[in-house]
Chain A
Amino acid sequence: DGGITQSPKYLFRKEGQNVTLSCEQNLNHDAMYWYRQDPGQGLRLIYYSQIVNDFQKGDIAEGYSVSREKKESFPLTVTSAQKNPTAFYLCASTALGGLAFRADTQYFGPGTRLTVL
């Protein structure tokens, strides 16, 4: 079945550590996204990538880094510079191109819950 997988489901980090969240999709989608979800604040965009080896900062990129070496993979690293990383992280992807690109659905993974100890 096609879809988006995120791992791990739960992740615990000690203060000062970097951690990497995995996101893989087999939908052959061009664009991928990382969102952060906090209670009462909805989803906020961290980074997005529309093509391999290129990515753009979203609204809250500070303290995070990404790479896009393969079309199907878009890992997110939460660095020690992120002062409040405890949150639910969601990865998404969508196809691009064609006249109907604005209507393309964004598909989401199941999420990773990160907790700082």
Chain B
Amino acid sequence: GDSVTQMEGPVTLSEEAFLTINCTYTATGYPSLFWYVQYPGEGLQLLLKATKADDKGSNKGFEATYRKETTSFHLEKGSVQVSDSAVYFCAPRSGQAGTALIFGKGTTLSVSS
């Protein structure tokens, strides 16, 4: 079945450090790809998305590029802030379950000043 693998956390960084969170997936066909962010005690918010190969999604300084050849969608940010501390989820849109998303286990990011 469809699945997604994210790098294990927690990821601990100092403010202004470079961030990479790896994400690879297996899915039917060519899924759309999403990154969501969850702040403590809250629901998930869309961070960025990409709908076809080589598309780059970007938002709030975060970027991710849809790599069909490596089935990856790694999240990057050039300079993290303390306010970026949260849990990040990679999610392809699965063709098997209609329009439901398949979520990874999430990666916890902790940024210190």
Contact = CB atoms under 8 A, between A and B. Distances in A.
Contacts of B103: 35, 42-44
A96 B89 CA distance: 22
A114 interface: no
Contact of A102 (B41, B93, B105): B93
Contacts of B7: none
A50 B100 CA distance: 10
Interface of B: 31-32, 34, 36, 41-46, 49, 51, 89, 93, 97-101, 103-106
Interface residues of A, number: 31
A105 B104 contact: no
A109 B43 contact: yes
Given A42-B89, A42-B106, A90-B43, A105 B49 contact: yes
A48 B43 contact: no
Contacts, number: 64
Contacts of B46: 105-107
B44 A103 contact: no
**Chain B CB within 10 Å, residue with most, of A33, A43, A94, A110:** A43
Interface of A: 4, 6, 31, 33, 35, 40-45, 48, 50, 56, 58, 90, 92, 94, 96, 100-111
A6 B105 CA distance: 23
Nearest to B8: A40
A103 B49 contact: yes
8 closest A-B pairs by beta carbon, nearest first, are A108-B43, A43-B103, A42-B105, A108-B44, A103-B51, A42-B103, A110-B43, A102-B32
Given A102-B93, A104-B99, A42 B49 contact: no
